[in-house]
Amino acid sequence: MMKSATFSDKFLTRISIIFVIVIFIFQAGILYRLFQANTDLLTRELNLLTSETYGANLNKRLVKGRDKPAAQIEFMGVDTPLNSLVTDTTKVVKIKNKSESLQSEPNAVAILNIALEEFVSKTNPIDLKLFSSSIEESMHRSNINFYFYVEIVDKETNKVLESTLLPTEHPSSTLQSKDIPLNLAQTKVLRVVLINPWSKVYPQMAWMLVLSLLLSLFCIYCLYFQLKTLSKQRKLAHLKSDFFSEVSHEFKRPLSVLKQAISSLDNEKIIMDAEKRGRLLKIADHEIVKMTEKTDMLLSLAMDDEGIFEIHKAEFDLVKIVYDLADGAEGTTTKPIDIDADNELKSPDIVGDKAHIEQVVSNLLGNAIKYSKAVIDIHIRLYVEGGYTCISIKDNGLGIAKEDLQVIFDKYARVAKTASIKGHGIGLNYVKRIVEKHNGLIDVKSEINVGSEFIIKLPTNGVL
């Protein structure tokens, strides 16, 4: 059931991430189309302004040359020559010609403008500086505020014949207007070129794209974090379920032993046998102590989770507690066991919560025995280092993998190598919390199939 739920979560998360990526690509496509639309709009406006400005410029030059003798203009591709005569100073130009069909052609106006340009340019050629000033005014009126230059180009050789662009200027990007032919062969053209027209648009679009990308990445991270959180919660729920199952089993066993011991005391023969009676009472007392310790440990963790757990410090003999626990631990296993303790402390006393420190040492000794090999060898060392009273418990057990060292102190954590051995996954978490409550440190060194060493460091000058 858990695997199915996890698979479903992963599948939905992947689909959601793909959906977010598709949305980002769609947004990028919209921005690109918007960019193209802006380009087309700017190009159309530039073409319109260029045509209008050129027309006005051509009319002005025609007016200036009205008193000069007219010249005959021959059209390429037209059999009969046209005699062009300017009769008014307006934009209307009347053409006298035997061939009336020319005016009905779609390109008639363009051809006539070219003819007029050739006619006028002989006496009054186009002045690029004047044209540049005129188109600059038109652009400002249309709210097109870009740097630009005007040039005349020979399209056959692709050579710039005349230009307002300075030789030192080298624009990185340009947008040019449509070519305006200046001769009937249409090899000589006039064009207006915008310099870096996207210098203002690019940053805006870039920010929009970056913002969209960041938003998409944030959504992907949220989905990933949600999946990770759900997976962690399911794992924690599974561990809690196993924990409560094992705890209930652990409580049943001492209760069963107590029940059996009490039932045995009803036997008159056992009551009369002091040795058997004493052994039963010792067993019952041992099971009660174990059950009490586990209960206190669980209550302490629960209170710490709620933020109401407190330790009660007092001065006590640390050496005596460690030696007593070492002596008692030898009788908790049927395996061959050797526990030796080395005391390097000048004073046996330390300030702390005696009951909880005793439980901490008991937990570490219990783990050293529980996760041991066929023959148990445990070395305990008490010493002072850097202002801390240190308790080192070293064994020759199964060892812990390096990748598991980061999680062994987590609540309900069980490493793979020791998962088959009964345990609650709260012992080391309890140890870490108690040590930290004393403003102490805990360190662990371990190697697979060699053993582990847990070092507890408690402040030497503890405050009552």
Instruction: Provide the residue-wise pLDDT of the chain in tens; the chain has 464 residues.
Output: 444 555 566 777 778 778 888 888 888 888 888 888 888 888 899 999 999 998 888 888 888 765 555 444 443 443 434 344 344 434 444 333 433 333 444 467 778 778 888 888 888 888 899 999 999 999 888 888 888 999 999 988 889 999 998 877 778 888 899 999 988 888 899 999 998 887 777 777 778 878 888 888 888 888 888 878 887 787 777 766 666 665 665 666 677 777 777 777 777 777 777 787 787 787 777 778 777 877 777 777 778 777 778 888 899 999 999 998 888 887 778 889 899 999 999 888 999 999 899 989 988 998 898 888 889 999 999 999 988 999 999 999 888 888 888 888 887 666 655 555 655 567 888 899 999 999 999 999 999 989 999 999 999 876 44
Structure tokens at 275: 């040795």
Contact 449, 368 (CB under 8 A): no
pLDDT tens for 160-195 read 999 998 877 778 888 899 999 988 888 899 999 998
Selection from 359, 354, 358 nearest residue 313 by Cα:
354
- How confident is the model at residue 81, as a pLDDT? 42
Contact 455, 442 (CB under 8 A): yes
Structure tokens at 367: 């783990």
Give the pairing type, strands 83-84 and 95-96: antiparallel
Class of 310-459 in CATH: alpha beta
* Overall pTM > 0.85: no
Cα–Cα distance list, 335 to 103, 310, 377, 413 (Å):
117, 38, 10, 26
Selection from 147, 436, 168 nearest residue 311 by Cα:
436
- Give the CA radius of gyration of the chain: 48
Cα–Cα distance list, 218 to 20, 21, 205, 211, 284 (Å):
10, 11, 20, 10, 59
Residues sharing a CB contact under 8 Å with residue 353, sequence separation 6 or more, in sequence order: 311, 312, 313, 314, 434, 437, 438
Structure tokens at 277: 């009676």
Contact 117, 58 (CB under 8 A): yes
- Helices 2-64 and 128-141: crossing angle in degrees, nearest 10, is 130
